[in-house]
Structure formats: C-alpha cells, structure tokens
Structure 1
Amino acid sequence: MVVAALLPLGASAATGSVTGKVIHIVDGDTFDVLDDAHVTHRIRVSCMDTPEKGQAFYRRAKDSLADLISGQMVMVEYYKDDRYRRHIGEVNGLDLCLKMIESGMAWHNRPYERELKPGRADELAAAEISAKANRAGLWADPDPLAPWLLRRQQREGKHQSRP
C-alpha cells in the first residue's frame, strides 16, 4: 500500500483523505483514485511539476508516474483543492516527488514551495540539482522549459493576441 501524507497548510479550506485504487494517470503529476463508494478523485502531487502535453519528456514523465503507482491501492491525505477541483498534496509513503525529481522526470515545483514543510524544498532542490548535473531525464535537453514558465508564456500570448 502506498500512503500519502500532506502538509497542514491551507490555501483552501478543503482537507481530508481518500483511500482507493489508482485507476488513471492523467499526466506526470496528476492521477485519479477510485474510492470504495465508486467516486473518482483527481489528485495533483504538490511538490513537483512535470512537462506539459507537447513538451519533451511529457510521455516519459507520465509513464514514470504510472510505473510507480498505476493500479495500486493508495491513501491520499490532501491539504487543499486547486481551481480545477483537484486534491493537492504530497505523497510521502512512496515519496513520488523525490523519485520523479531524482530521475529527471519532474521539476521541483518552486512556485508552490512555500506550501511544503520546512526543509522539504531544500531536499527537492538538491535532488533537482543532482538530476541536472547527471543530465537525467528532461535534463538531457539542452534548454528544458519549466512547465510553469510555459503556462505563463501561453497565458501572455493569449492576452497579447486579443484585439
């Protein structure tokens, strides 16, 4: 069993836990869990960010997450919901964040590191530095673009193209 524990910080009032089977990997940092009541919960791992669809390593990151948790029973505790109604949290029992970052399949999610428990951001940043030095995964790309920067560019491009 994979156990997920989340941080007690609350950007929203939504906190709780979900236990169920991982039934779908959405992308490299998001997956669906089906609980005993046959309700599907979308989970977003809080401490990492993976390539967006269309970016290099998108498929490899998604497959890496699938290799780690697909079909497994998990317990997820979440500390907030995002604007897409995904439960947000960190999976500590398996430490998905660390595994994905160390393998070069994810970035340490710097824009949200203030939500991590003390010391966690430093641990993840060190793992990213090591993956980068070893040119692991997405770091084999000479100029990888962090997904949050890509999303910002896309938003700015949309705003600029409006009449």
Structure 2
Amino acid sequence: MDGTVSGGRRVSASCVTDGPAGYVKVTRLLFCLILASTSGSAAGQICTISSVLDGDSLRVHCSQQEEMTQVRLAQIDAPELRQEHGKASRSFLRFICPVGMKVRIESRGQGQHKHTLGTVICNEINANIAMVMAGHAWAYSRYSPATKMHKLQDKARANHTGLWRRPDPVAPWEFRKMGR
C-alpha cells in the first residue's frame, strides 16, 4: 500500500519491513523516510529538542521564544509510557529525533492542553509519518479521519510491525478511558 507524503512524493509502507516476520530494518526505514519526507519546503520554525517526553510529545526551545515549548505530533497517538509498547515508542522517537537536534516544527495549531500541535521534521524525516510507519503510533482518528496515516497504519499492522506484533494492542485513547 502506498501513500503520498510531504511534497507529493509517494512512499510504499512495505519499505519498512523485511522478511516474513515484519522485522523493522531501521536503516532501510530511515532511507525510505528521507525519500518520502523531503518536500523542499522550508516552512516552519527551527527549534532544538530539549527532551522527548513520550512517543508523540517533545519539548523544544525555539530561538525566538524564551520558554520551552511542548509539541505534540499531529495526527498520531502513541502508547502511554505506562502502557505496553510505550517506552519502545518513546525510544524510537528519541532515535530519529535525539535531544539536542535542530528540528523544523510545522505548526498545526494548539492542542487541548495548550501545547503546539505540529509536524516535526528531524533530518528531513517526518517524525509523525515515521512513528506510524514503524508501528510505534496509531493514526489518530479523532483528528485525521481516513487519511494517508491510516493507510500507513494498516500496512504496519498487516506486517506485524512494532506494536502490531501483539495480537490485540490497546489504542492509547482506550487505555486512557480505562483510567490506567
């Protein structure tokens, strides 16, 4: 299954898996994501990552602001840290967007907790897309109904990639409803 990503380029989600077990090859994944995410657009704010909070949130410092800004990756929802696969999800985001890295934040507005919602570009890799393609986050239906993110999620699930290795992973919004 293919999807169109930033800049109109097409990427096959099958490029993130190798072999019948669906094992993620990180270097292959990153190569595919670089090809998919390069848009030629320099829009957005350049910031430095100060911490990766979980699989869909980070804290950044932007030169034009005195205070740190919390950014939530738009259109995705990663497992909570206390949830199964939560720490693995955060580790993957730390791998592709390490602390100290300069990143481009393409703001999509404010979230319900007054944080910035946005697309985070790390080394020309769209971290939002990377998290879903690698099976470390869900496409967040509440804010992105029937989008390319869902197609990428479906491919990760079909290949048993990341959190989809488990037969019935619990979506983060369901986990939160259970009050865990």
- Confirm or deny a common fold (TM above 0.5): yes
**Structure 1 residue ranges without an equivalent (≥5):** 6-16, 115-120, 158-163
1:38 shift after superposition: 4.4
1:122 shift after superposition: 2.8
**Structure 1 counterpart of 2:167:** 142
**Structure 2 residue ranges without an equivalent (≥5):** 1-36
Are 1:55 and 2:83 matched, yes or no? yes
Instruction: Select the residue among 53, 56, 62 that pairs with 1:26.
Output: 53
Are 1:97 and 2:124 matched, yes or no? no
TM-score, normalised with respect to structure 2: 0.68
Deviations 1:44-84 (Å, cap 9, x if unpaired)? Answer: 00111100122111011001001111121122131322232
Are 1:111 and 2:142 matched, yes or no? yes
Q: Residue 47 of structure 2 aligns to which amino acid in structure 1?
A: G
Larger RCO: Structure 1 or Structure 2 (Cα < 8 Å, ≥ 6 residues apart)?
1
Give the number of the structure whose residues are more often strand, by fraction. Answer: 2
Secondary structure of the corresponding residue to residue 50 of structure 2: strand
Instruction: Select the residue among 67, 78, 85 that pairs with 2:107.
Output: 78
Q: Is the CA contact 2:134–2:162 (under 8 Å) kept in the aligned structure 1?
A: yes
Q: Distance in 1 between matches of 2:78 and 2:162?
A: 11
**Structure 2 counterpart of 1:12:** none
Extract structure 1 runs of 4+ deviating beyond 4 A: none
TM-score, normalised with respect to structure 1: 0.74
